[in-house]
Amino acid sequence: MRACFIHRGEIRRFSAEYEGDGSEITIFGFQGMGEVNYEKELNGETSFFEAAARLSKQGNNVVVCGCTTNACGHIRKSAVVAEKGKLLGVSDMLHVIDGGVSCGAALRVYDTQLGRMGVVVADDLKFPEVIKTLTDCGSDFLVCVYEKMLDQVPCVLLRAYAYCYGVPVLFCASGYSVVADVGGSVEFASPQSPFCVEVETQKQYHLVESRRRGLYTPSRERD
């Protein structure tokens, strides 16, 4: 699939200037929307979600955009997902480190024209159980929207997760984007924006067996 990463500029401006780039998925970082107030969106005072849906219709593709959502004063880090002019949903970050915002309630796997897409929001990247859950639920690839990379830890995690769970991870942060492949390598990394790249998905399965204690079953007495 052809992926386009945009980690500079707002989604509405990009949509207004969009001329088509052939991408099948367009990914924005958190700068793409800023803060979205649900009440204002519902009242028609703002149109951030509409901008994402409109761009996905223009490109006939999938659009993922990071943002901060405000629901009755509950501030969350989120990602908006749209496809072919339709808003598919909003994913919230589940794990909040040392406060600052509210946590979400559930993970989402989206059925798209590219396959099943799991969405990882910001600091959820630091929790392996998030990646495991999304892949156990059938994700063919993962998209992670992040804020600013302060060190190389996100890149290390991306490579480890892609290798351990067998799915490519598409990562878009402020000023930097990365694709980690299922071999545990960085397939692409660039500070350029926008930047398009071909990403390959592979489905390879292995039989993994283990032995553990627990699940006690009383033995039957012989007659």
Query: For 154-179, what is each residue's pLDDT tens digit?
Result: 999 999 999 999 999 999 998 899 99
Q: Which residues of 35-47 are buried (b: 16+ CB within 10 A; e: fewer)?
A: ebbeeebeeeebe
- List, for residues 81-135, the tens digit of each pLDDT value: 999 999 999 999 999 999 889 999 889 999 999 999 999 999 999 999 999 999 9
Which range, of 50-54, 81-85, 217-221, averages the lowest pLDDT? Answer: 217-221
Cα–Cα distance, 131 to 124 (Å, whole number):
9
Inform me whether the pLDDT recorded for 16 exceeds 70.
yes
Q: Are 53 and 86 in contact (CB under 8 A)?
A: yes
Q: pLDDT category, 222, cuts 50, 70, 90?
A: low
Give residue 221's pLDDT.
Answer: 59
Roughly what angle, to the nearest 10 degrees, separates helices 153-165 and 128-136? 30
Instruction: Count helices and strands (H / E) in the chain.
Output: 5, 13
Inform me whether the pLDDT recorded for 20 exceeds 90.
no
Inform me whether the pLDDT recorded for 218 exceeds 90.
no
Percentage with pLDDT > 90 across the chain: 73
